[in-house]
Amino acid sequence: MSRKRKKKKNIRKEIPVIFAAVVIMCIIIGIRSLTLYKESCELAKKQEALAVQIESEEKRKEELEDLEKYMKTKKYMEEVAKSKLGLVYPDEILIQPDNK
């Protein structure tokens, strides 16, 4: 019987230590969960911002493709030749206003 009493006394001494260890582990896990949740929220916000940026860049890409198509047309070449180079067709007369 003395062995059983010693085991019970030892178990009674170990219970508070085990309980304290479990509580500490729960606290650590809770804190880590909160930090991971905050990181998750921040990453979700960044993901939304990047999705918006991707959408705007895709629109810009379409605009640039349209501009590229326009720049290959004869109308664009005529406009550039007239405005930047001052060229005209042989049968055209260019009239410029007087600068005073």
Tell me if 11 sits within 8 A of 18, measured CB to CB. Answer: no
pLDDT of 5-50, one tens digit each?
566 667 777 888 999 999 999 999 999 999 999 999 999 999 999 9
Per-domain residue ranges for the chain? 9-83
Q: Which residues of 17-48 are buried (b: 16+ CB within 10 A; e: fewer)?
A: eeeeeeeeeeeeeeeeeeeeeeeeeeeeeeee
**Assigned token pair, 61:** 């890409």
Whether residue 1 has pLDDT greater than 60: no
pLDDT (tens digit, 9 = 90+) per residue, 39-81?
999 999 999 999 999 999 999 999 999 999 999 999 999 888 8
